[in-house]
Amino acid sequence: MVGSTEEVPSHPYPNGLIQSTNGSSVEEKVDELRQIFGKADGDPLRIVGVGAGAWGSVFVAMLQDAYGNLREKVQIRIWRRAGRDVDKATAEHLFEVINSREDVLRRLIRRCAYLKYVEARLGDRTLHADEILKDGFCLNMIDTPLCPLKVVTNLQEAMWDADIVINGLPSTETRNVFQEISRYWKERVTVPVIISLAKGIEAELGPEPRIVTPTQMINKATGVPIENILYLGGPNIASEIYNREYANARICGAEKWRKALARFLRQPHFIVWDNGDLVTHEVMGGLKNVYAIGAGMVAALTNESATSKSVYFAHCTSEMIFITHLLAEGPEKLAGPLLADTYVTLLKGRNAWYGQKLAKGEINLDMGDSIKGKGMIQGVSAVKAFYELLSQSSLNIFHPDENKHVAPVELCPLLKTLYKILIMREVSSEAILQALRDETMNDPRDRIEIAQSHAIYRPSLLGQ
């Protein structure tokens, strides 16, 4: 009845099997998916997570919690790179977390693993990230113990026979890793299904400017048909979801897979809907990270002023709505998911955290966009991608106030300012407040009216 096969914790969750969801038992959901994959008795459905950041690890841990006891029917593993050292300060903190959680302490003692954390805390032993993940600790989220996971550090071993692959990599790493994975799939007879959790984009400026998403990267790198690649996103904070805070998400892609996978992934506290609009939802997941960085800056620079944050929210959401009209033929369909994902990211996401730390001077741009303990700050590369795309003259739209055609970025002053701060490094974080206080800035409603009253949809931006 537990995700780990080694013991039964004292509390029902984490590590407790969920018995039913919407009338379907756990075993029935597995059997339905196995039937779609054509699995014979004795041949387990093989699910592999790629990448062990916070959300990737939590996602795989949720599956392990729910289905890990059905070992003859489903096999769940996670891949991460080997050899990354855990520094002494992190090892010491891990020790404190372990000792504060009776269930975790007892679990490690029973597995004879407790001593290695004592030794690491004393400096007599070096821990590795893949080693602690096997014990249920994600390096980017050590305050939230997960269930123990089956960790594989050899990519070929992890991937060669995978039926379902969960992409938990940052968008900046997705292409390279899946190019390597494709080498191990050349002799495959069956085609795997890939669920991407990545929220980031790249810009491709020629021959026509367009957005490149992680699912498109995977498709090009592996040759897996796009109908076998799905995107899952939503207003989710990883640690809160694992601790059973109520959440929802959408899995987007081909109907053949998304409906059965939505049922399989659904849990009482994690409701998964399905939608056929893959690329647009995926792009929206990257767009909100852009403005979350600015939200963090505003919060830090105004001492958490509710008024200032609300002004920023009004302007950033109007820019996002404007950009949505460029990208989607039916932008109103995205309003709810986009705003919900934006709201939670502004409240507690890593991109907002990054903006706050930058504004306070506690981190600097020379440290890069991969921050220890947080992972990849995907909003930085997204700022660059959206700015470069929306600066292209081939996308010019008519500006009624100026009575001329302008590049779309000229109607996105916050995006322009974030580009100057993060990419060009021409101005400091305080420039985001100056942009908000600019007397020439239009009412946010004006930008929305331009989007709604003019034909600005550019299908080429999504390669359509």
Catalytic amino acids? 288
d(CA 91, CA 40): 44
The first and second tokens of residue 12, run together, are 């029902």
| CB 444 within 8 Å of CB 450 | no
d(CA 125, CA 131): 12
110, HSE (Cβ side, Cα atoms, 13 Å): 14
The residues, ordered by sequence, that sit 6+ positions from 408 with a Cβ below 8 Å of its Cβ are 322, 323, 326, 390, 395, 396, 397, 456
d(CA 429, CA 436): 12
From residue 122, give the alpha-carbon distance in Å to each of 1, 91, 113, 126.
36, 9, 15, 10
3-state SS, residue 335: helix
Sign of CA dihedral 36, 38, 42, 46: negative
Q: Which residue type, as a one-letter code, is found at position 439?
A: E
266, HSE (Cβ side, Cα atoms, 13 Å): 20
For residue 340, the Cα-to-chain-centroid distance in whole angstroms is 15
d(CA 81, CA 128): 10
Q: Are strands 85-86 and 127-128 parallel, antiparallel or unpaired?
A: antiparallel
Residue position matching structure tokens 């009004």 = 314
From residue 334, give the alpha-carbon distance in Å to each of 31, 86, 212, 328, 455.
33, 41, 19, 9, 18
